[in-house]
Structure 1
Amino acid sequence: MSQSGVSDCGMGEALPPWRPLLRAARHREGRSPQARWLQLATVAGDGSPRVRTLVFRGWAGGAALDLLTDGRSGKSAELHVQPQVELCWLLPKAKAQFRLRGQRLTLSAEAEHLARQQHWQQLRPEARALWGWPEPGVPLEADAGFAAALPDGTPLPACFELVRIAIDQVELLELTGVPHQRRRWRASSGWQEEQLNP
């Protein structure tokens, strides 16, 4: 099990070869929150790019990861129209940049509800508070209420959305030495490692 409680890999599913490298790079970050921050790139309805930072919430199999978002946000709508994404995970102490390409998975209603419930229960009350705030991205109202925490037992809000990404390509750029080292793994080739020019 991962820290989030989500299984590190499915029943009998072997880890792709890039997963231990990512785990080691994250480990070098120590307790820094940066070890869990990654950037999600999506495409807006007008075709323009959007990038925002999200928190890694755990693995859901060998090559799928979980993120959480507010279902009222722009990124939620963007992912429903265009599920293909790229994630950038920069780990400065390890001097490593991972770029993970894939797409949002559509889960069965039951599987999605169970995963959402599990993630909701694992959040600290202060982290849950974000889903009790007013709709993100709309004009701020003077009397808007922003709770500092939502206690254990708070019902799962409808806007609490799971984003599960199935990874189909990973590139690792190691920013040490000259030249830098760049490698790529693709699911379509059985995660065979390819050496690339940096």
Structure 2
Amino acid sequence: MTTLPPWRPLLRAARQREGRSPSARWLQLATVAADGTPRVRTLVFRCWADGAALDLLTDGRSAKLAELRQQPAVELCWLLHKARCQFRLRGEVLTLPSDVELDERQRHWRRLTPSGRALWGWPEPGASLDAAAAFPAELADDTPLPDHFELLRIALEQVELLELRDHPHQRRRWCREDGWKEECLNP
């Protein structure tokens, strides 16, 4: 059994305060482009792979996958407005053994709804719009796993929580290398 880091229950409680809002699953992923400039995108949290690793899904045809292969270090920002807090999660995209990666990709593919799978039936992200291109609203359960359906498993090394409820704001940090020991910081 995996022992949860002390920040995980805090994140779970903050997400629960958001209720059924889809935005409770949205987080921003910061990467570095090949030219050294920053990129930020919103992705959907899928699940925890273990105590301090999470899974996100992406289209392998997008620029972010090439960026992550060049520089696997990332930071995620998870703003939960009803809970009035922000989690900043720093880590690295893991390279999984090919058989494990395929199994995990298939598992995630099967768990998606037909409308969730539809995004991987769309034309290449960022390419010029073709007015005649199909943008399906759903892909059936028996649709094969597309090659460009990619899993990003991110192993977290540091987590910061900024709580915006009280005056002054409260800020804490946990680092894997310190055994996830909590450190209070100036906001």
* Alignment TM-score > 0.5, same fold: yes
Partner residue, 1:141: 130
Deviations 1:108-152 (A, max 9, x none): 111101110010001010110111111110101121111111001
- Structure 2 counterpart SS, 1:57: strand
> Normalized against structure 1, the TM-score is what?
0.94
Partner residue, 2:27: 38
More strand by share: 2
| AA aligned opposite 2:180 | W
Matched, 1:125 2:114: yes
Give the alignment partner of residue 99 of structure 2, picking from 85, 105, 110. Answer: 110
Alpha-carbon distance in structure 2 between the residues aligned to 1:34 and 1:133 = 22
- List aligned pairs for 1:20-31, cutoff 5 A: 20-31=9-20
Give the alignment partner of residue 177 of structure 1, picking from 146, 160, 166. Answer: 166
Identity of aligned residues (%): 71
Following TM superposition, the consecutive aligned residue runs of length 4 or more in structure 1 with deviations greater than 2 angstroms are none
- Structure 2 counterpart SS, 1:38: strand
Unaligned runs of 5+ in 2: none
Deviations 1:28-86 (A, max 9, x none): 00000111000000000000000010000000000000000000001111111100000
- List aligned pairs for 1:1-198, cutoff 5 A: 12-198=1-187
Alpha-carbon distance in structure 1 between the residues aligned to 2:96 and 2:177 = 22
RMSD: 0.5
> Normalized against structure 2, the TM-score is what?
0.99
Alpha-carbon distance in structure 1 between the residues aligned to 2:74 and 2:151 = 15
How many residues are treated as equivalent by the alignment?
187
Unaligned runs of 5+ in 1: 1-11
- Structure 2 counterpart SS, 1:121: helix
| AA aligned opposite 1:64 | A
